[in-house]
Structure 1
Amino acid sequence: MARSLSTDQSKQIFGLPVVLIWGYIAIAFFMTGDGIEQAFLSKYIVDLGFSTQQASFIFTVYGLTVAIASWLSGVLAEMAGPRRTMVLGFVLWIIFHIGFLTLGLEQKNYSMMITMYGIRGIAYPMFIYGFVVWIAYAAPKQRLASAMGWFWCMYSVGMGVFGTYLPSFSIPKIGFMGTLWLAIAFIAIGGLMAMFLIKDNFNSYKEERKDESSKLREMLRGITLVYENPQIAIASVVRIINQISLYGFVVILPIIFTEQIGFTMSEWLRIWGAVYATTIFTNLMWGILGDRIGWVRQVRWFGCIGMAVATVLFYYLPVSMGPNMGVGLFVAIFFGIAIAAFVPMSAIFPTLEPKHKGAAVSMHNLSAGLSNFVGPALATAIMPLAGVKGVIWTFAAIYIIGFILTYFMKINQPLGIEKTKIKDKIQVEK
């Protein structure tokens, strides 16, 4: 039985569900705090006296815990509700971030750095992917990619724009550690917004959710879904491929750009920030275009092929041209355009399993989290054997594999409003 939307629930602005607007803003604040260290932490750890491989391993462990938490967050949000899941995520983040700073970095204790940063990786997927479940229920099906595009837009505003550009100004003033302490303020603001300002009642979607007796089965389905539905399995691999270079690059490129090419840390931060600044617009653009030109077609040509080219350019152009900001910004913008073309993946998973949205979104989240793990893990494994070039060409080849896999993806994409009206008119005439 289809649920009837209230006036407030049905309102949208270019695909953004108005009832969730404070949640989108909370994502921007939270990801500012979470992303504030991403473009300089590996360099700072190396400056403390550790090797590049040691720094990379910290990110690899972090990626593994992110992957596990990313899978659990969708089912947890389905069971306990997105709001509780998001609040738990922000509290855990603050606790273990403080542990990472005081017991790890300040003491130069490698074991504690791995432990605290790794456990902190549980927190951010609970916050952001808990909200993805909320969107999956609140957004109209024919505008789901657009609603997810808004989510990734806010993600980029936080992670990339403020999270990356802010350190380029704060590090010269308060240093690396001061900037890392500053992150807590943004996390707290985002968490409090999620706690008190989102007015949508998730229980209103009860007809589409599982009853209490089936919640355990839903959790188990989150594990078995990849075997039961081959389309989910293929989509999962493509989603893992989506961001492998993004998370692999934050381990190796800060060092390459500052020590080999000759950029300053502030210049590098602004180049990396341009990736996310670009995705603010391209996440929305690709979300809207995907609803019109086809989700899979967009992922195939503009996502997979686009990222294969962008990955190679991001290394070779700056290395060949030297510390040229124009070149650095060009490759960053190109990279941002290409990586955002994967936006429809967030809509593909719940569409493939409409009766098990929570479990499907959990598989999407697990796949997204595995990008956090696979990218740094590949960089850690390949760097000693084939160097930076080996990492770059491995990433590019994997995107070509993703391109091939998209030909096996069969998605029954919902028609947009305009197409639905045309279809209905044709059926009436017949």
Structure 2
Amino acid sequence: MSATTTKAVAGEPGESWLDRIGIPHSLRWGFLGVLIFMTGNGVESNFIAPHMTQALGEAGAPLVPTIIAMYSLAVLLASYLSGALADLFGPRRVMLLGFLIWVVFEVAFLWSLSIDSVVMVFVTYFMRGFGFPLFAFAFLVWINAVSPRSRNGAAVGWFYVMFTGGLPTLGSLFAVVSIPFFGGGSTGEVGSMWASTGLVTLGFLLAWFGVREPTGRQRLAPSGESASEVITSGLRLTFREPRVAMGFLVRLINTAPEFGMFVILPAVIADDLGWGQSRWLLMTTVVYAGNILFNAAFGTLGDRWGWTRTVRWFGVVGSAVGLLAWWYVPHMVPAGSDWGYFVSLAAGTVFGIMLAGFVPMGAIMPALVPEHKGAAMAMYTTAAGGAIFLGTAVVAVVQPLLGNVGVVWTFVALYASAFVMLHWLKVDQSDEAEMAEASSGHTGEVAYGNA
């Protein structure tokens, strides 16, 4: 790093309760800010597609899937840039940039909808997609720069509690209340989106004024690197460091089955097995809730039992078993039965919980290349966005050839490949190793303690 940081050491005098559970005390308001910001970002998550279809009319409705796909592309690009720019300018400035982009283009997006301009809706919604990754994932870089390595897993876990707690969970719940409050129907949805701007602003203000920790205010990349070198460092690291490439692939595989199952399961659960759409929606809510509740738990377990070990046995093996259970259990119980539904719900929840076993990957990636934490996190967050593409691509390619069962087993095979790659992703988790690396400029290829 280019300047002196306030990197904490676990167990030092003056630690707060938050420090001990994995939330750096100096960043506490930032965690709350991410929760509220992502709640605002998630308000529209369950109604934006039909709302745009109705607002744009017959001429624009066919373009709505393309508009949403391009928004996803913006999220993917910003996921990479968040880490690279945080390395270059410091996480705090990147969070400000993300907030400004979100608010400016959300206002422009709502105005574009009001005048039925398909072109402006396309442009403004695409640009708004850069907002939340720059804000949230830059803060994740800040967390990795400040948190003691021995507690990085728990810190990343708490970040994802806040991130997924807001998007889609609390955001969707806010919409349930706000839509009727603002008049219901399309009018209520527009009012809810305006209100979401207030939530995003509140989340930003909490983080901006509440976090005074100095590390995030400065450049994190080595001082000798040019701007272009820092921006492209994530890509260069991936080609130069095989372990970074493998970490990228493991994170890519992590949630790909989740998005693939969300393509094939709705029709299976709701129609083929007769439980209806409402029970399918309830199932997805419970599966997500299980994941949120265990993010911090698996992060803490990784700090104590070993990051790689936790990812291998809970993230990879546990998710593979849970995925098979989520597919096969509903087909083994009586279709449409109440008790069969709840058994199937339990099977899906196992999958959701085990996905949280991958949380320590957010600590492993920056530990692989400690001099380029932002670049490593750029590839980590890019893989998180790329998982959506991989999951849907597997369905598109495999389903016509091998059917839904073939899709499920393809995902299991991907998990098997992740199991193998984890052999090379062991890092020393001790604070002492991190301090030694900081003083010597070591690349992180040290003794594999607590793997």
Task: Determine if the alignment matches structure 1 residue 140 to structure 2 residue 148.
Answer: yes
Match of 1:284 in 2: 296
**SS of 2:232 mapped into structure 1:** helix
1:322 corresponds, among 309, 314, 336, to: 336
**SS of 1:13 mapped into structure 2:** helix
C-alpha distance in 2 between matches for 1:390 and 1:308: 14
TM-score by length of 1: 0.81
**How many Å apart are 1:295 and its aligned residue?**
1.4
**How many Å apart are 1:26 and its aligned residue?**
1.0
Runs (5+) with no aligned partner, structure 2: 436-451
C-alpha distance in 2 between matches for 1:311 and 1:275: 12
2:104 corresponds, among 84, 95, 101, to: 95
Amino acid at match of 1:153: V
Q: Structure 1 residues 275 and 175 mapped into 2: Cα distance closer, same or farther (>3 Å)?
A: farther
C-alpha distance in 1 between matches for 2:14 and 2:58: 53
1:299 corresponds, among 295, 299, 311, to: 311
C-alpha distance in 2 between matches for 1:56 and 1:396: 29
Match of 1:426 in 2: none
Aligned residues of 2:52 and 2:113 also touching (Cα < 8 A): no
Match of 2:130 in 1: 122
Matches within 5 A, 1:34-45: 34-39=41-46, 41=48
Match of 1:403 in 2: 419
Amino acid at match of 1:411: K
**SS of 2:27 mapped into structure 1:** helix
Match of 2:427 in 1: 412
C-alpha distance in 1 between matches for 2:143 and 2:411: 31
Aligned residues of 2:84 and 2:378 also touching (Cα < 8 A): yes
C-alpha distance in 2 between matches for 1:43 and 1:125: 24
Aligned residues of 2:84 and 2:232 also touching (Cα < 8 A): no
**How many Å apart are 1:180 and its aligned residue?**
4.4
2:255 corresponds, among 228, 243, 250, to: 243
Task: Determine if the alignment matches structure 1 residue 225 to structure 2 residue 232.
Answer: no
**How many Å apart are 1:347 and its aligned residue?**
0.5
Q: Deviations over 1:293-329 (max 9, x none)?
A: 2212221221122222333444554566438563464
Match of 1:345 in 2: 361
Amino acid at match of 1:123: G
Q: Deviations over 1:316-344 (max 9, x none)?
A: 54566438563464244212211100011
1:202 corresponds, among 174, 191, 215, to: 215
TM-score by length of 2: 0.77
CA RMSD of aligned residues (A): 3.8
Q: Structure 1 residues 116 and 203 mapped into 2: Cα distance closer, same or farther (>3 Å)?
A: closer
Ranked by relative contact order (alpha carbons within 8 Å, sequence separation 6 or more), the top structure is: 1
C-alpha distance in 2 between matches for 1:359 and 1:195: 23
Task: Determine if the alignment matches structure 1 residue 66 to structure 2 residue 75.
Answer: yes
Q: Structure 1 residues 201 and 416 mapped into 2: Cα distance closer, same or farther (>3 Å)?
A: closer
Amino acid at match of 1:361: M
Q: Percent identity?
A: 34
Task: Determine if the alignment matches structure 1 residue 30 to structure 2 residue 37.
Answer: yes
Amino acid at match of 2:336: G
Q: Structure 1 residues 253 and 301 mapped into 2: Cα distance closer, same or farther (>3 Å)?
A: same
C-alpha distance in 1 between matches for 2:42 and 2:370: 32
Match of 2:26 in 1: 19
Match of 2:439 in 1: none
Aligned residue-pair number: 414
